[in-house]
Amino acid sequence: MIFTATQISDVFIVEPVVFEDPRGIFMEIWQAQKFKEAGINASFVQINQSRSSYGTIRGLHYQIQQAQGKLVRVLHGEVFDVVVDLRKSSPTYGQWVGEVLSAGNRKMIWVPPGFAHGFQVLSEFAEFEYSCTDYYAPEHERTIRWDDPDIGIDWPLQDAQTPLLSERDLAGVSMKEADVYA
């Protein structure tokens, strides 16, 4: 596996080594020792999958308690994936990292606890997988607006397209109003 650091400490792009022959492909998605050697000491308790249509934005989501680390990847299609640092004590507080993840490039992103996460679907639809280090706790879930100008995410919206949003995402708050981590 290839672990590429981003401009935000603790967030990594992870690329599996793919073995391909006439039968198809094989790749490791998770191997605890390799992740530990890269500085990621995580174990997963829950794996989620979503399917979303073109133009959908999910996020920016996080849990203020039972903070989840997430290893995310695309099983089908393509998304623009975003991670936002919500750690007030961090020198990169409020900054974001974005990366195109697709079934074709097989890239993954490690989203540490203490970060908000979201993505926009760029293909007709996308199947998205989240491996989580803690359980979903709806009572602790929070949402920051996808278009918060203080964060300034450069979403790849096409021709002033209006994204498809859930009611929860429409009700998201600004980062200034949000509960964040110490």
**Residue 139, domain extent:** 2-16+43-170
Spatial CA neighbour of 13 closest among 77, 98, 84, 90: 98
Selected catalytic residue, list 130, 136, 140, 181: 130
* 34: in domain: no
Q: What CA–CA distance (Å, rounded) separates 18 from 130?
A: 20
Backbone angles phi, psi at 123, to 5 degrees: -100, 180
Instruction: Say whether 130 is catalytic.
Output: yes
- pLDDT tens by residue, 1-50: 999 999 998 999 999 999 999 999 999 999 999 999 999 999 999 999 99
Residue of 61, 62, 93, 181 with catalytic role: 61
Q: Is 164 strand, coil or helix? A: strand
The total of other beta-carbon atoms located within 10 Å of residue 43's CB is 10
pLDDT tens digits for range 81-105? 999 999 999 999 999 999 999 999 9
Known active-site residue 117: no
In a domain, 180, yes or no: no
The pLDDT tens digits of the residues spanning 40-49 come to 999 999 999 9
Gap between the Cα atoms of 96 and 115, Å rounded: 9
The pair phi, psi for residue 138, each rounded to 5°, is -55, -30
Structure tokens at 17: 């080594």
Residue 53 to residue 181: CA distance in whole angstroms: 31
Residue 140 lies in a domain: yes
Residue 164 located in a structural domain: yes
33 occurs within a structural domain:
no
Number of domains composing the chain: 1
Would you say residue 141 lies in a domain? Answer: yes
Of 101, 134, 110, whose CA–CA distance to 9 is shortest?
110
Question: Any idea what the CATH number is for the domain that residue 76 is in?
Answer: 2.60.120.10
Q: Where are the beta strands (DSSP E) in the chain?
A: 2-5, 12-15, 18-21, 24-27, 46-53, 57-63, 70-76, 78-85, 96-102, 108-111, 115-121, 125-132, 141-143
> Does 9 map to a domain?
yes
Residue 161 has pLDDT above 80, yes or no: no
Best CA proximity match to 150, nearest among 180, 121, 122, 120: 180
Length of the chain: 182
Let me know if residue 21 belongs to a domain: no
Ramachandran angles phi, psi of 29, nearest 5°: -95, -35
